[in-house]
Amino acid sequence: MASTPDQPASSTSSTPDFDELALLRRAQEGDLDAYDALVRRHQARVYAAVYHMTANHEDANDLTQEAFIKAFRVLNTFKGDSTFGTWIYRIAVNRTLNFLKARRNRQADVSLNDLDFNAETDPDLVAFVSEHTPHQEATLSELQQRLNAAMQKLSERHRLVVTMHDIQGMTHEEIAKVLGCNVGTVRSRLFYARQQLQALLSDYVKSV
C-alpha cells in the first residue's frame, strides 16, 4: 500500500505489522532486499518531513539518504520499542534539526518542489485563493512562495510541529512520541506556531 508523502503511514500506529517485522529481522541480518523494501515504504513520508523543514529539495534528498543509511548501520540497536516508521522518522528529524542549526548562520537556499497538478484543481485551494488572497490575480505559485517564506521564519521546533500536524496529519500523540516530549508541549508549540504564521500571512489568512 502506497501512502502519499504527507499522510501518516500505517506503520506509525501501535499495531504490530508482522510483514514489516519480518523485513526488519532480515534487514538486521544484512539483507539489502529487505531493507530496500523498508526504504520504499517510508521514504516518501521521511522525505516530506525533511523537505517541509528545509524548504529545499536537494537538502531534503541528502538528509533523507543519510538518515536511511545511518539507520541501516545501527539497525541492530533497534529493539522494537516503537515502530520502524517512528524510529526512522525520529532519526531523520534529529539529523534535520542538526543540519538546520548548522545552516542557521548562513543564507538558506530555497529550492521548492513544483506543485502537482492536483493543486490547481483542489476545490478547497481554489476556493481559498479566491476568498482570501488580497489580489485575485495571485497565483498558487506566489502563495506557495509566501507560505514557505513564513514557515522559514518559524523556529525549527515550531516549524516541526506545524509540518507534522498540519501538513503531514500526525496526531499530537504521535508527534510527542517522535519528539520525546509530552502532548501538552506539542499543543502549546502548535498554538504558538499557528499564531505566528497567522500574523505573518495576515494578508491571506483572516480569522473565520
Partner 1 sequence: MNSQDNEFQALRRLLALKRHEQPPPGYFDRLAASIRSQLAAEQAREPWWSRLFTRWEIRPAWAGAFAAMVAGLYVVSVGLSTNPEGSGTAHTPTDWALGTFATGESRAGLAPGLGLGGIGMEKTLMPTVESFQSASNREHTGEWVLPAGFSVGQP
Q: Identify whether the C-beta of residue 156 lies closer than 8 Å to the C-beta of residue 101.
A: yes
Q: Based on CB atoms, which residue is closest to partner 1, 97 or 205?
A: 205
Q: Based on CB atoms, which residue is closest to partner 1, 15 or 121?
A: 121
Least Cβ distance, residue 26 to partner 1 (angstroms)? 11
Q: Based on CB atoms, which residue is closest to partner 1, 105 or 130?
A: 130
Cell of 9: 503511514
Least Cβ distance, residue 15 to partner 1 (angstroms)? 24
Residue 21 sits at the vertex; the CA angle it makes with 32 and 75, to the nearest 5 degrees, is 50
Least Cβ distance, residue 207 to partner 1 (angstroms)? 7
Q: Based on CB atoms, which residue is closest to partner 1, 19 or 36?
A: 36
List residues binding partner 1 (CB under 8 A): 4-6, 28-30, 32, 35-36, 39-40, 43-44, 47, 51-52, 57, 61, 64-65, 68-69, 72-73, 76, 112-116, 118-119, 122, 124-125, 128, 132, 140, 143-144, 147-148, 151, 162, 166-167, 172, 187, 190-191, 194, 197-198, 201, 204-208
- 75: closest CA among 13, 15, 142, 21? 21
In terms of C-beta density within 10 A (0-12 exposed, 13-18 middle, 19 or more buried), how is residue 79 classed? Answer: exposed
Least Cβ distance, residue 190 to partner 1 (angstroms)? 8
Least Cβ distance, residue 105 to partner 1 (angstroms)? 26
**What are the two backbone dihedrals, phi and then psi, of residue 111, each rounded to the nearest 5 degrees?**
-140, 85
Q: Based on CB atoms, which residue is closest to partner 1, 115 or 181?
A: 115
Residues 54 and 52: their CA atoms lie apart, in Å, by: 6
**3-state SS assignment for residue 142:** helix
Residues 146 and 138: their CA atoms lie apart, in Å, by: 11
